[in-house]
Structure 1
């Protein structure tokens, strides 16, 4: 349909008599076609101007059509999200590394503190043992002095440095050796490791002994502790605490006897008959 506008005008009809009155005597020849004359006005058709067409949008053009998203938006937004995720992951990784490093340093400090605590405990134990040994040595020195004052050097039938009691001579060696080495050293002096034979001798020895090897041991397949000369130990004389299974040797300290590894080094007591 062409873009044109139609202008409508009123159609007026007049009777022949009215027309004659208006003309007032002017003779007019009228062709009578019907009881009325019909006067037609011009029907004018105007083409719509370009401006009007632009001002009057069609119904289809009146609807807004959404513009497609720009390509850079589709590309940039996911890129920004990925960048944000990478930055977040980097920050979390740095925090995790820092936390793990702190945990490692705390573990190292804890291990060091545990080692220091262990060394401190060991030092306390060593100090206690040393204090006990000091007290024992002081008591031993006092007993030595008392024994020497009773027996007298001129009346002693024992070698120098030996102590006589009853019919025996005793030598308290301060050097530390294994049980076997102690046994061999006593033999080199014409003596043997101590053998306690009665209660009286036990009381005398207990006043002087301080972690010394004596002549008791359990060797090979033997199930009982025996003296160096092969005789069996009498449990009625004193009890022995079994601390070590298998081969073991007896250590005497302040009236208490216990089995230890024969390869450990301690002081020892040699004895022999008085001349």
Structure 2
């Protein structure tokens, strides 16, 4: 009789073990379909955006973006432009806040090129009225004119790109690709 009860006990242990086993294959890593951004960056459309607070020249702003693993923003669609306009209204603290974007004609006057080397798409340009005007300053003190693009208008004017002197200190918008995360599923 004792032997039988031992057997029953052992069988019940095996049975409970086998019910636990299939639900817990051990730790496995599964791809998370969501894009992630680092702290301080904002996610939109699979890309991460960083709105700087400090003001620098266009070149220095670009260096700062690249040091963070990105570059000055390249605007690929009307939807992206609208998103940035909306966000700037929130992050601008003063009327004079303007933000560098990754667009310049410093290599050849009038040929606007993005930081990735692509030319400005003529159907996707958002210049303010009468811009770009390549202004040379009140007394022509900037003979090269305005070669870098900025955006930002506290009033929220649409199509708010302006050309400006690249040396002028402005805030900037950095962009980099979002990263798809991985979740580690660990069973207890």
Normalised by the length of structure 1, the TM-score is: 0.42
Q: 2:124 aligns with which of 223, 237, 256?
A: 237
Aligned to 1:271, the other structure's residue is in SS state strand
Q: Deviations over 1:93-119 (max 9, x none)?
A: xxxxxxxxxxxxxxxxxxxxxxxxxxx
1:163 to 2:63 alignment: no
Q: What is aligned with 1:249? A: 148
Distance in 2 between residues matched to 1:213 and 1:203, nearest whole Å: 16
Distance 1:156 1:221 in 2: 37
Give the Cα–Cα distance (whole angstroms) in 1 for the partners of residues 80 and 110 of structure 2: 26
Q: Which has the higher helix share?
A: 1
C-alpha deviations, 1:203-225, integer Å up to 9, x for none? 11110225100000111334311
- For residue 236 of structure 1, report the CA deviation from its aligned partner: 1.8
| TM-score for the superposition, normalised by structure 2 | 0.60
Q: 2: distance between equivalents of 1:244 and 1:179?
A: 16
1:224 equivalent among 105, 111, 114: 111
Q: Give SS of 1:207's match.
A: helix
Q: Using CA pairs under 8 Å that are at least 6 residues apart, name the structure with larger relative contact order, 1 or 2.
A: 2
More strand by share: 2
Aligned residues: 121
The runs of 5 or more residues in structure 2 that have no matched partner are: 1-33, 93-97, 136-143, 180-188
Work out whether 1:193 is the aligned partner of 2:72.
yes
